Amino acid sequence: MRRRHFLQVGVGVGVAVAAHACAQPNQTPQSGGASETPGKIMMGFWPVASGLPLFVAVEKGYFKEVGLEVEAVRFANPNQVAEALIAGRLQGTGNGVASGVLGLAEITSPGLFKILTANPSNVDYALDQVIVGQKTDIQSIQDLKGKSFATGPGAQNLAIAEAILRAAGVEQPQVQQLEISQHVAAIESGQIDAAYTLEPTGTVGTLKGITRVLENGVVSKYILGDPKAPWFGGSAVLSSKFIEQYPETSALYAEAYRRAVQDIRDNPDEVRQYLVGYTAIEGELVDKVPLVGYTMYDEFSPEDIAYFQKFFDFMTDQEIFSRSVDVAALMYKPA
């Protein structure tokens, strides 16, 4: 067995901001690739399937091969990852950390990070979904009018869930917030009729014979306006201060991370094993859970950036973001 290792940034962020200036790596920056000495590089992750590139890169030794000591640090939720990044306890994050949380962190601490890789999902690369009871007669999201509906906790999840329902014609949607891990059980008990949730919830409910997926890729369809549009719901980032202090180390890290992304593209079935230990996904679920896509910083097309920006603009329109955040300006650029 391998090593065990959406939204409102809370009060902890205020404390983290105060610590930001003094809590970054203590080493004096060095010039020249081989002479850079960053020490141990701490990368935070949320234990979800989309974090796979970080797990692969650590377990297959891609960071060690280029002389980097990288530790993957597990957090219970994306908010905690963002707080640790602001406080300087992390030098970056793995994929799967909610882009909306990171956007809030950028507003709180401008210039905090650069995006290395984002993980898009849509109707084909399933992540976000609406689930219902397996035996219910609900056949479409339009049928949810008057039904009890849940979403995960946090302002982002609530805003997305309400927007999906309104776009499907459900007026004045009533949405309750419930931990994603409880969605399947809540549907089974009759507490709720349906939920906006994230994989692997839909796969777990289906395998247990309790729920079925009513619709995948709901953010792409109902918020971005196209079921095939990429929703960049999670991102891997590097601290801007770390990039400035250690530019060549950052480039080495980025290329090792790219190797892991390519492994997932080329050998998805082989690398699924690295979900075990880093997430709660194990057993039959390892082979069943859908994998999202990955887009490296230098692979974004203008259309990709536009869709990513559209999601951030949605966050601003919903007053979750207090100001607009420019996605293009957040992209990593090697020195």
CA–CA dist 240, 237 (Å, integer): 9
- Are 52 and 264 a contacting pair, CB within 8 Å? yes
Instruction: Give φ, ψ of 167 to 5 degrees.
Output: -65, -30
What does the pLDDT read at residue 192? 97
Interatomic CA distance for residues 19 and 42, integer angstroms: 17
Mean pLDDT over 84-102 rounds to 97
User: What are the boundaries of each domain within the chain?
Assistant: 11-122+230-330, 128-216
User: Cα dihedral sign for 135, 141, 142, 145?
Assistant: positive
Domain spanning 128-216, CATH architecture: 3-Layer(aba) Sandwich (3.40)
* Under 8 Å between Cβ of 308 and 118: yes
- On the question of a common fold for 11-122+230-330 and 128-216, the answer reads yes
Segment 149-162 mean pLDDT = 92
Percent of all residues in the chain with a pLDDT value above 70, rounded to a whole number: 90
| pLDDT given at position 15 | 34
Local confidence band at 183 (pLDDT 50, 70, 90 cut-offs): very high
> How many Cβ atoms are within 10 Å of 207's Cβ, its own excluded?
15
Nearest to 107 by CA among 318, 285, 315: 315
- Average pLDDT of the residues of the chain: 90
Q: Who has greater pLDDT, 36 or 88?
A: 88
Q: Is residue 97 pLDDT above 80, yes or no?
A: yes
Whole-number Å distance between alpha carbons of 39 and 26: 9
Q: What is the token pair recorded at 173?
A: 């949607």
Q: What is the CB neighbour count within 10 angstroms for residue 264? A: 20
| CA pseudo-torsion sign 252, 254, 257, 258 | negative
Residues paired with 276 in a beta bridge: 279
Question: What sign for the dihedral angle of Cα 81, 160, 134, 216?
Answer: negative
Is the confidence at residue 332, as pLDDT, over 60?
yes
Q: What is the pTM of this model?
A: 0.87
What CATH number has the domain spanning 11-122+230-330? Answer: 3.40.190.10
Q: What is the mean pLDDT of residues 50-62?
A: 98
Give residue 7's pLDDT band: very low, low, confident or very high (50, 70, 90).
Answer: very low
pLDDT at site 24? 45
Ranges of beta strands (E only) in the chain are 41-45, 70-74, 92-93, 97-98, 113-121, 128-133, 149-151, 175-177, 194-198, 211-216, 231-239, 295-296
The residue-averaged pLDDT of 298-305 equals: 98
Using only the alpha carbons of the chain, give its radius of gyration: 20
Per-residue pLDDT at 35: 61
**Average pLDDT of the segment spanning 291-295:** 95
In this predicted structure, what is the pLDDT of residue 172? 87
| pLDDT over 60 at 4, yes or no | no
Residue with the bigger pLDDT between 13 and 55: it is 55
Per-residue model confidence (pLDDT) at position 22: 39
- Asked if 216 and 129 touch (Cβ cutoff 8 Å), the reply is yes
